[in-house]
């Protein structure tokens, strides 16, 4: 089969790879019909996630058709069209039993702190991902869902990660009616977070980024006020000024490990790999939220330490909430919202890249060329 393969930082290619076998009775093999590149993949692509091995296939956002099922699979059969949450989870461990699907303890031997994620380094379990023609889907009775007839394929693939994660980011903010919500990052995750904040009754939604074309999307897609942080001497002071010097009630970090805004922080992290993540956006979040407010973190950070301003978080009495999104728990409500037209996930898709040209897709997305917000990956023949 054809599959994207990592060749070292900033380098990927498409190779012929042996098709994945059934390794466990509850496995399914899925033929991918549509995939995507996520902002998280950029952390791998830039070589920032420890234990990312040359030869690995990335991709944790994909939908497809069931090709083959293991002997114990009951709920799926070959030919079913399925969408697959980016989390791999068993359904019965201590954590899954309590709904913490993204924190499953039975799927990742490499780390106890992280659950299992498709195509996301060995630190997340060492599974090959869905930027390929075929992919192994463990716990086929637990993770995937048959795509409802009415759902568009592009909406479905956006619902495997970006959309639920953005919604989850807003939810972790525990927004109440009238809250002032600030979102750092106008990538797909931040844009969905901003849009979802309104559904939860926010009184004001502000999005911060430095990419003007993405801020434009924040205004049209997410009805948000926007500020380009490069236009201000100090974005924190500016946010204080526009919130009556109170600060925001809720701040969402939808940027993560590769935050820009400080050359030093960025280079020590993304280029030299000396920190788990550049904490620029997270520190701005801590500084611009009001005392007693909530900071929600869905931007991803590596397992190494980062220089986070913890003292301010303590002195301000903040609530910090964060997790990988438990995608399947979000689905029933989000399916309703997509059906009712409150959320239109596919509106963020800007590029459709053939799998054979995925190296170019990574470059365009990573270098933010050509107005790129969300690139989908289309295997040959679809």
Partner 1 sequence: MPYTAEKPPPARTSEELRATIPGWGVDLDPRDRPSVPREQPSTHLTGAHWDFPERQPEKWPRERSVEHKFLTPVFGTATPPRGLSGGIRKAAYRYSEGRTAHWLLLVLADRVDAQESHLRSFLTLRPDNPITQTGVLSELRHHPIRSRFGVKRTDLVHQSLDPVVVAGPWVLAGAAVYVVGRRVLRSLRGLMR
Ligand X SMILES: NC(=O)c1ccc[n+]([C@@H]2O[C@H](COP(=O)([O-])OP(=O)(O)OC[C@H]3O[C@@H](n4cnc5c(N)ncnc54)[C@H](O)[C@@H]3O)[C@@H](O)[C@H]2O)c1
Q: Which window, 61-69, 84-92, 182-190, 307-315, contacts partner 1 (CB under 8 A)?
A: 84-92
255 binds ligand X (CB under 6 A): yes
* Candidate segments 26-34, 236-244, 296-304, 308-316, binder of ligand X by CB under 6 A: 296-304
Does residue 195 bind ligand X (CB under 6 A)?
no
Distance of CA 135 to the CA centre of its chain: 19
- Per-residue binding letters, 220-259, with partner 1 (x by CB under 8 A): ---x----xxxx-----------xxxxx------------
Q: How far apart are CA 29 and CA 27, in angstroms?
A: 7
- Of 260-299, binders to partner 1 (CB under 8 A) are 260-261, 263, 266-267, 270-271, 273, 290
197 is a contact residue toward Zn ion (CB under 5 A): no
Q: Considering CB distances under 5 to 8 angstroms, the limit depending on partner class, which of ligand X, partner 1, Zn ion, none binds residue 280?
A: ligand X
Q: Residue 256: which of ligand X, partner 1, Zn ion, none does it interact with, CB under 5 to 8 A by kind?
A: ligand X
In whole angstroms, how close is the CB of 346 to ligand X at the nearest point? Answer: 15
**Candidate residues 40, 68, 171, 288; the one interacting with Zn ion per rule CB under 5 A:** 40
Interaction mask 212-251, ligand X, x per CB under 6 A: --x--------------x----------------------
Residues 24-83 that bind partner 1 (CB under 8 A): 24-26, 47, 50-57, 72, 74-75
Give the one residue of 313, 343, 349, 378 binding partner 1; rule: CB under 8 A: 343
Buried b (16+ CB within 10 A) or exposed e, 207-232: bbbbbeebbebbeebbebbbbebeee
The pattern of x and - marking residues 87 through 116 that bind partner 1 according to CB under 8 A reads -xxxxx---xxxxxx---xxxxxxxxx--x
| Contact positions with ligand X (CB under 6 A) in 329-348 | none
Neighbours of 355 (CB within 10 A): 22
Size of the site for partner 1 (CB under 8 A): 121
Query: According to the binding rule CB under 8 A, does residue 326 interact with partner 1?
Result: yes
CA-angle at 334, arms to 333 and 340, nearest 5°:
95
The answer to whether 38 contacts ligand X (rule: CB under 6 A) is: yes
Give the separation between CA 308 and CA 102, rounded to whole angstroms.
24
- The residue among 97 and 314 lying less far from partner 1, judged by its C-beta, is 97
In the complex, minimum distance from the CB of residue 281 to partner 1, in angstroms, rounded to a whole number: 12
Binding site for ligand X (CB under 6 A): 38-40, 42-43, 161-162, 165, 184-190, 208-211, 214, 229, 254-257, 259-261, 280-281, 298-300, 324-325
């Amino acid at each position: 089969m054809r599959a994207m393969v990592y060749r070292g930082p900033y380098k990927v290619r498409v190779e012929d790879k042996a098709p994945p076998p059934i390794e466990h009775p509850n496995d399914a093999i899925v033929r991918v019909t549509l995939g995507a590149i996520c902002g998280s993949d950029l952390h791998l692509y830039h070589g920032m996630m420890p234990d990312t091995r040359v030869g690995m296939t990335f991709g944790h956002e994909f939908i497809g058709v069931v090709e083959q099922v293991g002997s114990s699979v009951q709920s799926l059969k070959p030919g079913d069209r399925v969408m697959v949450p980016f989390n791999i989870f068993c359904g019965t461990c201590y954590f899954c039993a309590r709904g913490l699907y993204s924190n499953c303890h039975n799927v990742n031997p490499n780390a106890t702190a992280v659950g299992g994620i498709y195509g996301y380094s060995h630190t997340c379990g060492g599974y090959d991902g869905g930027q390929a023609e075929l992919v192994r889907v463990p716990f086929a009775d637990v993770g995937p869902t048959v795509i409802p007839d009415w759902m568009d394929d592009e909406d479905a693939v956006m619902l495997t990660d970006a959309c639920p994660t953005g919604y989850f980011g807003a939810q972790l903010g525990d927004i109440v009616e009238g809250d002032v919500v600030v979102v750092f990052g106008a990538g797909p995750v931040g844009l969905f977070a901003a849009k979802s904040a309104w559904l939860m009754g926010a009184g004001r939604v502000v999005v911060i980024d430095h990419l003007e074309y993405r801020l434009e999307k924040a205004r049209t897609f997410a009805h948000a006020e926007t500020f380009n942080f490069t236009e201000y001497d100090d974005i924190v002071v500016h946010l204080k000024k526009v919130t009556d010097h109170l600060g925001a009630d809720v701040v969402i970090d939808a940027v993560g490990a590769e935050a820009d805004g400080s050359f030093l922080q960025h280079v020590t992290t993304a280029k030299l790999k000396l920190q788990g993540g550049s904490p620029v956006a997270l520190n701005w979040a801590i500084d611009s939220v009001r005392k007693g407010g909530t900071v929600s973190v869905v931007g991803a950070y590596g397992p190494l330490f980062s220089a986070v301003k913890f003292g301010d978080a303590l002195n301000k009495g903040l609530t910090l909430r964060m997790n990988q999104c438990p995608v399947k728990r979000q689905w029933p409500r989000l399916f309703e919202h997509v059906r009712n037209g409150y959320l239109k996930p596919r509106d963020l898709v800007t590029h459709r890249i053939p799998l054979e040209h995925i190296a170019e897709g990574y470059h365009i997305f990573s270098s933010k060329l050509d107005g790129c917000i969300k690139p989908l990956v289309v295997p040959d023949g679809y």
